[in-house]
Amino acid sequence: MKALVLEEKGKLALREFDIPGELRPRDVRIKTHTVGICGSDVHYYTHGKIGHFVVNEPMVLGHEASGIVIECGAEVTDLKPGDRVCMEPGIPDPDSRASKLGIYNVDPAVRFWATPPVHGCLTPEVIHPAAFTYKLPDNVSFAEGAMVEPFAIGMQAALRARIQPGDVAVVTGAGPIGMMVALAALAGGCAKVIVADLAQQKLDIIAGYDGIEVVNIRETPVAEAVAKRTGGWGADVVFECSGAAPAVLGMPQLARPGGTIVLVGMPVDPVPVDIVGLQAKELRLETVFRYANVYDRAIALMASGKVDLTPLISDSIPFADSIAAFDRAVEARETDVKLQIVMPE
Ligand code: ZN
C-alpha cells in the first residue's frame, strides 16, 4: 500500500510501504478517509525530532484521522463494516498503572501514531483497537471527524480549567490548538474568550465566532487588553497556547486573584516562570499533555452544533499531492489553520 513516508529529516516520499500488523480480535481495519496535517507532523518533517523522539528510520506520518470500518476482529461488538469513524491515535497499555487511573495519556508505554517509532495513518488502510475508534454521528462529516483529534486537546484544557458558567478566559497563541482551546472553553461555559496573537489573519479567522474577542499583541500588550476588558480584575482562566517564553512569563499578570492557568503550548526549550507572580494571586496551575477520555464529549459537542470546526479547515488536498501539502504547511501561511489530506476513494 502507498503511504506518506518521512524517510529522514526534510525528505518525504509517497511510496509503497506496508505497516506491519495483523487484525487481532479487538481490532478493526479502517479505510482512512481524511487526515489532518498537525504541527507535530510538520516538525518531524523539518527537524527530524521532537524532544527525545527522534526519527531514526522511515516513518509514516499523520495522526488526525477519520475513515470507514471495513473489517472487524472476532470480539468487536460495537462497530461493524461501513461505520464512519474517527480514531484516537494514542494507544496505552490497558494494564498499566496510568490506564487504571484513567490518565492513559501519560502512560509511559503509550504508542501514539506518527511518534517514533510508531507509524502514523497517512496510508489507505490502518488497523486500530476498536476501543479507540469512535463512531461519527450522521451529521459529523469525515472532515470534521479528522478535527476531533486536535479539538480533543482543547477539550482536555477546558476540562482541566474547571470552567464555571460565565467565566472570562484568555488564550495566548492563536495557532490551531489555541483556536481549539478557545472554542472548547466557550462550549464549556465561558461567557467570553479573549484570544491574543501577533498574526492578524489568524485572529480574524477566530474572531468570526460569537463570544471571541481578539487582541493583536503587536498593537496592544495583552495584559493591558485583558485588564481593560475585565475592569482591572483579570481573567478567570488563562490558557497558555503559544509556548513562547514572554507569554509564559507574563501569565500571572493576566489572571484574576485565585484564577487558573492552564499550560497547553510546549516551549521547545525550558523557559522561566514567575513563581512569585503565581503565589501572590494563589493561582492554580494545570498542565495538559494530549488528552484522555474526551473523544466522546468532543464528538457530542460537534454533533450538537455547539461547536463548528469547519471554518478552521483551510483546504483539502488529495493524497497524491501530500508532499506539496506538507511543503505548504511548512511555509506556515498565515491564512491556513488546518490543511487536510483526503485519501483516494
Ligand atoms: Zn495533532
Residue 293 inside a domain? The answer is no
Nearest to 241 by CA among 158, 335, 171, 161: 171
**149 Cα: distance to centroid of ligand 1 (angstroms):** 6
Distance (Å) from CA 43 to ligand 1 centroid: 11
pLDDT single digits (tens) 63-88: 999 999 999 999 999 999 999 999 99
How many whole angstroms separate alpha carbon 120 and alpha carbon 17? 12
**Residue 155 sits in a domain of what CATH number?**
3.40.50.720
Centroid of ligand 1 to alpha carbon of 102 (angstroms): 21
Cβ proximity of 62 and 91 under 8 Å:
no
Q: In this predicted structure, what is the pLDDT of residue 230?
A: 97
Q: 132 with 157, same domain?
A: no
In this structure, how many other beta carbons lie within 10 angstroms of the beta carbon of residue 164?
12
Question: Are residue 237 and residue 189 in the same domain, yes or no?
Answer: yes
Which residues 6+ apart lie within 8 Å of 165 measured at CB? Answer: 189, 191
Same domain, 158 and 134: no
3-state SS class at 303: helix
State the distance from the centre of ligand 1 to the C-alpha of 26, rounded, in angstroms: 25
Cell of 2: 502507498
Task: Specify the DSSP element, H or E, that contains 325.
Answer: helix 322-331
Q: How far is the CA of 113 from the centre of ligand 1 (A)?
A: 10
CA of 35 to the centre of ligand 1 (A): 10
Q: Tell me the pTM.
A: 0.97
Residue located via cell numbers 490558557: 239
Are 101 and 216 contained in the same domain?
no
Question: Ligand 1 centre and the CA of 87: distance in Å?
Answer: 12
Kindly state whether residues 134 and 174 are assigned to the same domain. no
Number of domains in the chain: 2
CB atoms within 5 A of ion ligand 1 belong to 38, 64
pLDDT < 70: residue spans in the chain: none
How far apart are alpha carbons 36 and 148 in whole angstroms?
10
- Compute, in angstroms, the gap from residue 244 CA to the centroid of ligand 1: 19
Tell me the C-alpha distance between 144 and 65, whole Å: 10
Does the residue 264 lie in any domain?
A: yes
The answer to whether position 294 is within a domain reads: no
Whether 296 maps to a domain, the answer reads no
**Which of 150, 147, 154, 151 lies closest to 237 in space, CA to CA?**
154
Indicate if the alpha-carbon torsion angle 228, 231, 234, 237 is positive or negative: negative
Q: Cα(305) to centroid of ligand 1, in Å?
A: 22
3-state SS assignment for residue 207: coil
Q: Is residue 52 part of a domain?
A: yes
Residue 120 Cα, ligand 1 centroid: separation in angstroms? 11
- Give the Å distance between the CA of 148 and the centre of ligand 1: 9
The DSSP annotation for 35-92 comes to EEPPHHHHHHHHHSEETTEE--S-EE---EEEEEEEEE-TT--S--TT-EEEE--EE-
- Residue 301 domain flag: no
Determine the distance separating the centroid of ligand 1 and the alpha carbon of 11, expressed in angstroms: 20
- For residue 221, the CA-to-ligand 1 centroid distance in Å is 29
136 and 230 co-located in one domain: no
Q: Supply the range of the domain harboring residue 206.
A: 151-287
294/74 Cα distance (integer angstroms): 27
Same-domain check for residues 102 and 169 = no
- 226 and 324 share one domain: no
Distance 64 CA to ligand 1 centre (A): 6
Contacts within 8 Å (CB) and 24+ apart, 225-233: 225/194, 225/196, 226/170, 226/194, 226/254, 229/168, 229/192, 229/194, 230/168, 230/256
Report the separation in Å between the CA atom of 114 and the middle of ligand 1, taken as the mean of its atom positions.
Answer: 10
Three-class DSSP category at 302: helix
Tell whether 180 and 140 lie within a shared domain. Answer: no
Say if residue 76 is in the same domain as residue 54. yes
pLDDT in tens, 23-65: 999 999 999 999 999 999 999 999 999 988 999 999 999 999 9
State the distance from the centre of ligand 1 to the C-alpha of 136, rounded, in angstroms: 19
Q: How far does the centroid of ligand 1 lie from the alpha carbon of residue 229, in Å?
A: 32
Q: What pLDDT score was predicted for residue 303?
A: 98
d(CA 210, CA 344): 36
Q: How far is the CA of 40 from the centre of ligand 1 (A)?
A: 6
Angle, alpha carbons 199-200-206 (nearest 5°): 100
User: Cell 481495519 belongs to which residue?
Assistant: 29
Regarding whether 275 and 157 lie in a shared domain, the answer is yes
Amino acid at 232: G
Decide if 133 is inside a domain: yes
* CA 70 to centroid of ligand 1, rounded, Å: 24
